[in-house]
Amino acid sequence: MHGSTWKNVDYPTADIIKNYLIKYGGQELTVGDMNNEEWRVRFSDSTFTYYKNGTIYSTSSKSNDLEVFKAWQYINSLIIPYPPPTKDFLIGLDETGKGEVIGHMVLTGVFFPKEIFEKVHLIVGSADTKKSHDFQYWDALFKKLDSLSTEKFAFINEKVPPWQIDRYNLNKIMDVTYQRILNIFFRKVPISQCRIVLDDFGIGSTLKRFLNFLKKQKAEVIIVNNADERYLEAKVASLVSKREREAVINAINKNPEFQLNGLSVGSGNAADQQTIEWLKQWHNSGKPWPWFVKKSFKIIKKMEGESQEIRKEIPPIKEDLLSHQFLEEFNKGRLSIQSLSIVCPLCGHILKSVTFATLNNGKKRTTKLKCPNCKRFIEDAGFTLRYYCGYLTPDSNAIQRNLISRDLESSRFFEDFTILLDPVVRKECDGTPRGKKEFEKLWKFNGIGRIKLESLGKIEEIPDSLPKNVRDEKIIETCLEFNAILLTGDISMAAFASGKNVFTIYI
């Protein structure tokens, strides 16, 4: 049980709380003349302190004594730090990492029913998302929140890689990503039953239009500055986002590949002296910057002797590549892999399947999607699919070809996709040298945050011999459940997916 904090508590209310603690067995302790404490009460194995600035802080209960929990509930009944639920379900959106010189920006959505509002608040407790903490701190809080998954607590993390932050204006990326997160949540409950809270980060016209649509559907939409300090659901989103980012930073710090003379990257904040020293040493070593360094930041430009400010581009998220049916569904809060189609801008064909092509230009390797009808490349189709869909289910032949890991080592087409490993695919590939090698590489990329890898189901529940039609059906069911693109090199599987209206990348 973590400690808990209540701010802006007036003196009369503080006295009521003090009397409650003493009445139920608390012992008042002496406070020094020179400190900023008004009173201190020892209650079970927690110490409650009231400070002159109006803050009450209760230390954690190592024994998880229920009496301490009840005392917190009592204080919560007197002091409501966050607006109580006004809808049946609460959704919070927040992001972190935009201003750090190292690592991704992480965008997070959280979802929970009003019935666990108080449980969530007690877990979040005194967490200050504006302060720097190590990964273990955020991870401990996250695990407590995740334990509420049986009570419908859910979250979605999406990452924007450093190289995109260097190059693109982020607002469009944030708009589409948050809209997709909301659409995923709306598969669980009706829009009208939701309160949605997000920070005003400079929301663009597309997301504004969508949020206005949600309001017309009777959702409550709250856009406010410092949302994570004012609404519980936004604070929880901020916390989960911090944990995801710190997990990546923690993995980078532990990786000997990125250590110099025993020095690791530190927090990744440009004001962190350890991070500054690591950047200096890495630059002086003559090595190229690793993938996780944002080269557009002033501190990097100064080290490289460049003063010209980088002009950010509009990200190549091209709605005109997407079919009218898909966009219409998406803008009504429904994300559907079955309505997803690409419109080839060169020949005009509406495509349920595109071809994955690799190009070698000298030492540089790039990947693009190609129209199977006119055989020409569809520029920016991959980037658009990443943000409008973002989920990918590879067939066994894609795993056996080491396709995804080879791409991540060079052209980065699959960067920050969520890769879903179906149990059928894992069973078919686990016992093969190439499959085992690919899984090891993918877990490595997952560990440093370049993709999100999820293993679904249980291999032992898959029979040793499945008829091909049953086997294909199981993989397609995964695509439909998660609205994931199918990645396959099997022409019959691609045809089967097309018959189920599942969008496919054919290799």
Q: What is the pLDDT of residue 371?
A: 97
Region of poorest pLDDT, from 226-240, 304-318, 483-497: 304-318
Average pLDDT, the chain: 92
Tokens for 80, please give them: 């409501």
Number of H helices, E strands in the chain: 19, 19
Average pLDDT over residues 155-160: 95
61 or 422: which carries more pLDDT confidence? Answer: 422
Of all residues in the chain, the percent with pLDDT exceeding 70 is 97
Name all domains of the chain by residue range, CATH numbers in brackets: 4-78 (3.30.310.10), 89-246 (3.30.420.10), 319-506 (3.40.50.1010)
Region of poorest pLDDT, from 8-12, 22-26, 265-269, 291-295: 8-12
**Positive or negative, the Cα torsion across 103, 245, 316, 370?**
positive
Q: How far apart are CA 281 and CA 276, in angstroms?
A: 9
Q: What is the pLDDT of residue 79?
A: 79
Is residue 455's pLDDT more than 60?
Answer: yes
Q: pLDDT-based confidence at 307, cuts 50/70/90?
A: confident
Pairing of strands 391-394, 418-421: parallel
Q: Are 357 and 505 in contact, with CB atoms under 8 Å apart?
A: no
Q: In this predicted model, what pLDDT tens digit does every residue of 139-153 receive, in sequence order?
A: 989 999 999 999 999
Is residue 15's pLDDT more than 90?
Answer: yes
Is residue 363's pLDDT more than 70?
Answer: no
Average pLDDT over residues 321-340: 94
Average pLDDT over residues 62-81: 85
How many CB atoms neighbour CB 156 within 10 A?
A: 21
Residues in CB range of 328: below 8 A, 6 or more apart: none
Residue 406 backbone phi and psi in degrees, to 5: -65, -35
Query: Identity (one letter) of the amino acid at 417?
Result: F
Tokens for 440, please give them: 């090891």
Pairing of strands 504-506, 485-488: parallel
Is residue 397's pLDDT more than 80?
Answer: yes
Q: In this predicted model, what pLDDT tens digit does every residue of 425-446 receive, in sequence order?
A: 999 998 899 999 999 999 999 9
pTM: 0.84
Region of poorest pLDDT, from 80-84, 91-95, 176-180, 257-261: 80-84
Q: What is the pLDDT of residue 235?
A: 93
342 or 409: which carries more pLDDT confidence? Answer: 342
